[in-house]
Amino acid sequence: MLKLSLNRVGDLFAKIAEAQALYLPVEKAGQVDYDKWTADAKVSMDHLNTAKSAKDLFFPQVERMVDFKMEGKNIEIKPHALSDEKFVLFGVRACDMKSMEVLDKVFLAEPVDSFYAARRMNGTVVTMACSEPEESCFCNVFGVDAAEPAGDVVTWKVDGELYWKALTEKGEALTEQIKALMEDGDEAKVEESKAAVREIMGKLPLANLNLAPFQPEKLNEMFNSPKWAKLSEACLGCGTCTFVCPTCQCYDIRDYDTGHGIQRFRCWDSCMYSDFTMMAHGTNRPDQMQRFRQRFMHKLIYFPSNNDGMYSCVGCGRCVSKCPISMNIAKVIKALGEDKDE
């Protein structure tokens, strides 16, 4: 394990950025999101969760897929090049790291999504353990240890020092690049901080959400629960929850006529939208209750059914804090998990 004084992280970032692009939490107009590091970027080391999740780096909101060029009446089809930018993603929290496992299940399963795969291959993820969890956090419910994230490299912030430990080959390679800045670190201090964080995690208000009822065999019962109507009643049908969610992975494919040709791109879609999966005959989920139900059934029942029990929620709490009407997965788990209908 290596360490570096937090006062010198600037040097660390500069060093990393020498060899590849560096993305990390940056404050812009009062909001912290992943952005490219520059010497004058306002890097936020303390912010717990970025507003948008780390998935943006691998599955961006808009991705160009193919161009159609028109010359006279001829059309030429030009697939858009895959991203070849080598980059380091720094400061990913345990929950967002966990979300990559979920996304990998979707995008790296056959047929492999080449856009996603290219970005995954080119990216090295440096995670950071949490030190001050929020009341909206419930990653522990999904088996995530906020104190010990996965990733290519994991870091801890303890007593003014950044502790650094490579976990994978990619991580080792990155460590080689920056080793000169580092000194050896003391594992015991990190262990101490891990224990403290785990203790807080256990005491969080949402720490005891009960996932036991959400089993594949309960599909019909859950689907037909009368509670959905009440839960979805106030839903605005906006895409906030899906867009800030680190695991939501639905997209739409659209064409844009530039006047000289067509650019085909994909962009995030939201199952909360009224035109989600709009088919020739219309939409297959005509009311908001059905759309709302889809989102949570997918996260809690359908996805685990198809992926060895892996829920497609990681408990990051973004929907808890961002939903305009404060309706979120935690409330859904509680309501549906209760034994009896109210």
Q: Site residues (CB under 8 A) for other proteins?
A: 28-31, 33, 48, 51-52, 61-62, 70, 72-73, 132-135, 200, 203-206, 230, 233-234, 236-240, 242-244, 252, 254, 256-260, 263, 265, 267-270, 273-275, 281-283, 286, 320-322, 324-328, 330-331, 334, 342
For other proteins, the closer of residues 143 and 324 by Cβ is 324
Chain-centroid distance, C-alpha 313: 10
Torsion sign, CA atoms 197, 198, 199, 204: positive
| Minimum separation from the CB atom of position 299 to other proteins (A) | 18
Instruction: Give how far Cα 211 sits from Cα of 142, 231, 262, 309, Å.
Output: 9, 18, 46, 11
Nearest approach, Cβ of residue 148 and other proteins (Å): 20
Residue 177 C-beta: closest distance to other proteins, Å? 30
How far is it, in rounded angstroms, from Cα 331 to Cα 73?
A: 56
Q: How far is the CB of 308 from other proteins (least distance, A)?
A: 29
> Under a CB-based contact definition with an 8 Å cutoff, are residues 341 and 226 in contact?
yes
Residue with tokens 């879609």: 269
Choice between 8 and 230, CB closer to other proteins: 230
- Which of 124, 232 has the CB closer to other proteins? 232
Q: Which is nearer to other proteins, 14 or 238 (CB)?
A: 238
CB 68 to other proteins: min, Å: 12
Give 293-296 contacts, CB < 8 A, sequence gap 24+.
293/223, 293/228, 293/232, 295/241, 295/242, 295/271, 296/329, 296/332, 296/336
Q: Shortest Cβ distance from residue 48 to other proteins (Å)? A: 8
- Please tell me the number of Cα atoms within 13 Å of 227 on its side-chain side: 18
Q: Nearer Cβ to other proteins, position 50 or 124?
A: 50
**Nearer Cβ to other proteins, position 191 or 257?**
257
Residue reference for tokens 């290596």:
2
Q: Which is nearer to other proteins, 288 or 307 (CB)?
A: 288
Exposed/middle/buried for residue 261 (C-beta within 10 Å: 0-12, 13-18, 19+):
middle
- Distances, alpha carbon 271 to alpha carbons 8, 171, 232, in Å: 44, 36, 13
Residue 21's nearest CA partner among 166, 123, 171 is 123
- In the chain, what's the furthest Cα-to-Cα distance? 70
Cβ 258 to other proteins shortest distance, Å: 5
